[in-house]
């Protein structure tokens, strides 16, 4: 994964738990360097080690940390100079989710070693949709849940997200039932 992701992990931890917590997590993960270079590619194990160290240090589950990171990532990338790219991917949540693969193709121009996940939409109705997530990186479904909730907030919506596994064999993947919630909190 690119340093930009690990910098965002640091940002989330320092904003919510302080720089001292970050230093303990970084040390626990076996990282000597305090900063990551945004455009440099790092082994995926660095990010996984940071999450594992954060679970131990903060006493939170990996899913809780990953979901929080997913929501944070939406805000972080907009502030870090990717707001126009996010804006160009769609003006509604369903449109944006439908354009995730195209957006990742554009991001790959700046990050040539990027190995993004793939997404597919099914069962799209006025009440919600199903988002299919295909990735070679295991264990990141909670991150996608956080991303979807963060994106929904970006579009002024609230959603209920229910993850599930679907498919068999090599076609097995994570999917997410996304239900739109109205302002009063009831499902649309």
Query: What pLDDT was estimated at residue 45?
Result: 95
pLDDT in tens, 58-69: 999 999 999 999
Angle, helix 62-77 to helix 3-17, in steps of 10 degrees: 110
pLDDT in tens, 62-88: 999 999 999 999 999 888 888 888 888
In the predicted model, residues of the chain with pLDDT beneath 50 are none
Query: What pLDDT was estimated at residue 64?
Result: 97
Query: What pLDDT was estimated at residue 21?
Result: 96
Report d(CA 44, CA 40) in Å as an integer.
12
Contacts of 19 (CB under 8 A, 6+ apart): none
Query: What pLDDT was estimated at residue 139?
Result: 94
Task: Catalogue all structural domains in the chain, each as residue range(s) with its CATH number.
Answer: 3-60 (no CATH), 88-181 (3.90.1520.10)
Query: What pLDDT was estimated at residue 188?
Result: 59
Task: Please provide residue 184's backbone torsions phi and psi, each rounded to the nearest 5 degrees.
Answer: -75, -5
Query: What pLDDT was estimated at residue 78?
Result: 87
Place of tokens 């944070």: 72
């Amino acid at each position: 994964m690119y340093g930009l992701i690990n910098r965002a992990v640091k940002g989330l931890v320092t904003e919510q738990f302080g720089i001292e917590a970050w230093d303990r997590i970084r040390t626990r993960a076996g990282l000597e360097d305090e900063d990551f270079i945004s455009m440099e590619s790092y082994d995926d194990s660095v990010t996984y080690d940071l999450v594992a160290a954060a679970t131990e240090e903060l006493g939170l589950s990996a899913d809780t940390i990953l979901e929080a990171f997913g929501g944070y990532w939406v805000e972080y990338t907009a502030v870090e100079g990717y707001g126009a790219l996010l804006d160009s991917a769609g003006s509604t949540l369903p449109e944006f989710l439908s354009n995730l693969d195209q957006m990742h193709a554009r991001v790959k121009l700046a990050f040539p070693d990027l190995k993004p996940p793939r997404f597919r939409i099914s069962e799209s109705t006025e009440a919600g949709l199903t988002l299919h997530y295909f990735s070679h990186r295991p264990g990141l479904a909670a991150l996608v849940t956080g991303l979807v909730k963060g994106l929904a907030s970006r579009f002024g919506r609230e959603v209920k997200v229910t993850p599930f596994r679907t498919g068999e064999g090599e076609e097995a993947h994570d999917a997410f039932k996304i239900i739109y919630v109205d302002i009063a909190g009831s499902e649309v």
